[in-house]
Amino acid sequence: ARFQGYRLSGSQVVTVALKRLLYSSVVFPGHRPTRFIKEGCHKIAGFPGVIGCTDGTHIPIIAPSVNEGDYVNRKSFHSINVQIICDAANIITNVEAKWPGSVHDSQIFRECTLSTKFGHGEFTGYLLGDRGYPCLPYLLTPYPDPEPGPQQRYNLANCRTRARIEMTIGMLKARFQCLQRLRVTPERACDIIVACVILHNIATIRGEHCPSEPNSSDPNHEHPDPPTDIQDGRAVRDTICHNHFL
């Protein structure tokens, strides 16, 4: 088979075909009405208004021949840093698979199309992220030094709800062992990651059994230092804390 003048192998043909399903299979905030997505997230730990949980995960690759240093992450191996957002049902609702491993989670989110749409008020609801992200009006992170009481309860609910993205990433990697290390170019690696995400969603919607118990702790997740940019979501965080976790 040929694609844009290049001869493709059988696996490449499948990958290209799957990529064409991306915008119908990976939809934010989801195929269901937003209120159902919020209800599903709220049932986990009582956190209100959540329409997705986000995190980054590093997919190891072999050292590329071009811009090799860009792909070395803080744990000193070559990788693609992939941003994933999921809902309470372990459906992946957004994926950014194009960034070298040296790029920080917060930069990936800041430059993604979804962040721009949130900034323009296109969605009604919040994302939850860890402290590797800035606290924004639409991306709520834990308190760095929570005081006893509401702040600790807020942090606990944030953490328990956010565990869903760790579980989802674990399921994705359990289903597709190739993601333990991709021995292809970065461009092909990104295509394969997207194809795996699409197949994960299909399997999850169909209720297919995950081949092994997903591990909630991702060994390739770096837990990077908090970003230094302005955290203008702190007032929103405080309001939710005082209104829902007293």
Digit-coded pLDDT (tens) for 209-225: 988 755 555 666 655 56
Name the more confident of 241 and 219. 241
Distance of CA 245 to the CA centre of its chain: 26
Beta-sheet strands, E only, within the chain: 2-3, 6-7, 50-60, 79-86, 92-100, 126-128, 139-140
* Among 42-56, 96-110, 228-242, the least confident range: 228-242
Distance between CA atoms of residues 119 and 107, nearest Å? 15
The pLDDT of residue 217: 56
pTM of the entire predicted model: 0.90
Out of 13-27, 92-106, 128-142, least confident range: 13-27
Cβ atoms of residues 205 and 91 within 8 Å: yes
Q: Any residues with CB less than 8 A from the CB of 135 and at least 6 apart, and which?
A: 141, 231, 232, 233, 234, 237
For residue 3, is pLDDT > 50? no
CB of 125 within 8 A of CB of 34? Answer: yes
Whether the per-residue pLDDT at 128 is higher than 90: the answer is: yes
- Helix-then-strand count for the chain, H and E: 8, 7
Q: How many CB atoms lie within 10 A of CB 89?
A: 16
